[in-house]
A and B are shown apart, each in its own frame.
Chain A
Amino acid sequence: MRGAYRLRGGLFLGSLLGVAICVLAAVAAGSGEGDQAGRAVPTTAGSDARWIMERSNLAYYYAGSDTRYRMVLEMGYREEPKRLRVMTVLRWNEAPGGEQRYLLYFQQPGDVRRMSCMTRKHVGAADERWIYVPASGRVMQVRAPERSSFLGSELVREEFSGRDVDADQHRFVRDERVGGHDCYLVESTPRQTEDFTRYATWIDRVTFLPLRQEFWNSRGERSRVFVGGRIAEIPSRRERGRRYPTLMERSMSNASGRWTKMSLDSVAYDVGLHDTDFSEEHLRIPMREWLP
């Protein structure tokens, strides 16, 4: 008799479980549908993914007609002591979204104080780079892939100077809040084989600065995470009332435990740089007024 009871009890429990599974499945299916609906009809009018990315590219890499700032790079591995790089960066834009010139003057560590780098960024062609090595007294051209490490940090070169918007296919996913900011979430997949298979960017709806970026590798693992920190409104030196929102802190961390933090200070926009300032001569000897 008792056996029969137990059996009936088992049946009861089993059916209960079955119902529960059905309910869960229904809920899951329902949420899936909702998600699909969200993707099909963007909640924001005119939020074309490519347009968002282009705006973001301009806000992040092309602010001002030129700029000058000091940048502190900290690089570390887990809890271990970190390496430090301090440099002054000069940038000049030919036109928004067009050619650019960069000059980097290193201040720390001590023995690289007089070293410097120059980059000519071309659109749709390989960038040109030079390095000045005081120890050999020579300026040398450097050829390096866009996706190789920027100064040994977790960032790649093109993440310092900008990636071609059309190198990837972009898709708007949804609106999402990140750290108190309303953001567009855009998912991008590269048109050519890269060291990542896709990445997602959370772009502030107001400033169009990227507040977060996540990269996935070919194994479907999240391999790198970029986080944007404090945004400051930096006034233009030329145009009164014009302000450029700037990410003063950024970090990139790698799933392997390595990380890089960048912080900016002494940021100035529209300081009056010229194309001709970016020359071999100034690579060797910087103009005093440029350095903060």
Chain B
Amino acid sequence: MIVTGGTKGLGKAIALSFALEGAWVGVNYSSDDESGSRTEAELKGLATKSLLLKADVSIGSDVEMMIGRVLDEWEYVDILVNNAGIIRDKLLMFLDEKDWDRVVEVNLKGTYLCSRAIIKTMIARRFGRIINITSPSALTGRAGQTNYSASKGGIISFTKSLSKEMARLGITVNAVCPGIVSTPMIEDLDQETKSNLLNMIPMGRFGEPEDIAWAVLFLASEKAGYITGQVLAADGGLT
């Protein structure tokens, strides 16, 4: 399996969860070599086989090289998790073209490029799981995130359309929508902001990265073979 943006945060939790289940895990990252090496070391202790894959998912040639390398080493890939994502939050009035483009390029175009590069090997084996990470921002909107929510909303529409193309070929395409996940960024917020956020979550707690990873694992499993084109929200009831 390959998880993009897999050396930090949610992507890393997903990668480690798959490693624990016995999967061969390829983790992609774009620039932070230090977190790349750390995750690589952790994976070596857990996964039967692992690969650290440096590539910018918004660049077609980078993606083709990355997928090519994995196929050279492992022959095929059954599971792709399109997790790589960035934010450049600004109110629309102040949102310049550069920040719009970069967010859409990494989040949405990256999902398209990685999916396109992987489907041939999945079609050849008549089996595949593509799981795209979206956001509550795509479902409910959020001030300051027009670029991010548009990219994540695009991912949902992309998921639904690609699922129709792939359904007959044994490949499922779904999305997972994480809620507000406990990350250092959330932990650093002041108490008032944190309790405001917590009040929005019916379950009264932030999600743990593992909560989301379990949803991804389920959609990747054989048991989820009849589920495609869906958005599974693992968000404590937030949406």
A, B assembled together:
no
Q: B residues engaging A (CB < 8 A)?
A: none
A residues at B contact (CB < 8 Å): none
